[in-house]
Amino acid sequence: MSKKSNKSYFVSGISTEIGKTIASAVLVSALKADYWKPVQSGDLHHTDSMKVAHLAAGKIAQIHPEGFSLNTPASPHYSAEIDGVSISLKDFKLPVTDNHLVVEGAGGLMVPLNDKHLIIDLIDELQLPTILVSQNYLGSINHTLLSIEILKRRNMPIKGIVFNGPSTPSTESYIKQYTNVPVLFHLPELKEVNPRSIQQFAGGLTLNL
């Protein structure tokens, strides 16, 4: 367990391919934090850990090894089945660190880890507050509100929302007003996603974490 668990955060999203890794790189750069990916499904030659290490180069404190590295780019429960691997919640232990720790999930909250447990169960097991990454698209209000509703229903702490990509003020203001969850920052669509652009953006943030 992290010695500073109140400074550890679990980054999840309202769907897959929503910008969790870019948001994690920003958080790591801004906080000079450690990073941990409990489950990597597919892309083992270009993992999220590798992406964050590249984007936060010079700012990241430490990349901790993935808990599971699975070959197939699919839901962890299916990827593990293909690899002949069994995933249990008890397999996951937070890396021990004196530093801030950013933990990045796989897909959204309701993505299955095994036949009984979901990503949200892993967050609960690790006892971490969630940072939820949202993106504006048709249906994103529904997906964002549902994600926040299930976290609240289970009495799980939500640290805040990160909006990623082109801004739609009416959508963002509605989500903020309806949920009463703070918006940590809005990451605009970047012309180039590279260490310079990520760290320049992170350097201008004032995070209330």
- Residue 6 confidence class, pLDDT cut points 50, 70, 90: very low
Q: Has residue 61 got a pLDDT over 90?
A: no
Dist CA 164 CA 116 (whole Å): 31
The reported pLDDT for the residue numbered 3 is 40
The reported pLDDT for the residue numbered 4 is 42
Q: Is 37 a catalytic residue?
A: yes
- Residue 87 confidence class, pLDDT cut points 50, 70, 90: very high
Q: Choose which CATH entry (3.40.50.300, 3.30.70.260, 3.40.50.150, 3.30.70.140) describes domain 5-203.
A: 3.40.50.300
The reported pLDDT for the residue numbered 209 is 85
Percent of the chain with pLDDT over 90: 89
- Residue 60 confidence class, pLDDT cut points 50, 70, 90: confident
The reported pLDDT for the residue numbered 58 is 81
Question: Quick one: three-class SS letters along the chain?
Answer: CCCCHHHEEEEEECCCCCCHHHHHHHHHHHHCCEEECCEEECCCCCCHHHHHHHHCCCCCCCEECCCEEECCCCCHHHHHHHHCCCCCHHHCCCCCCCCCEEEEEEEECCCECCCCCEHHHHHHHHCCCEEEEEECCCCHHHHHHHHHHHHHHCCCCEEEEEEECCCCHHHHHHHHHHHCCCEEEEECCCCCCCHHHHHHHHHCCCCCC
Those residues whose C-beta lies under 8 Å from the C-beta of residue 125, and which sit 6 or more positions away, are: 89, 92
Instruction: Dump pLDDT digits (tens) for 190-202.
Output: 889 999 999 999 9
Contact between 168 and 137 (Cβ < 8 Å)? no
In the numeric block, the tokens 């009495």 are attached to 155
Q: Has residue 24 got a pLDDT over 90?
A: yes
Residue of 20, 37, 51, 59 marked catalytic: 37
- Over residues 131-136, mean pLDDT: 97
Contact between 144 and 161 (Cβ < 8 Å)? yes
Going from N- to C-terminal start, the domains of the chain cover 5-203
Average model confidence (pLDDT) across the chain: 94
- Residue 153 confidence class, pLDDT cut points 50, 70, 90: very high
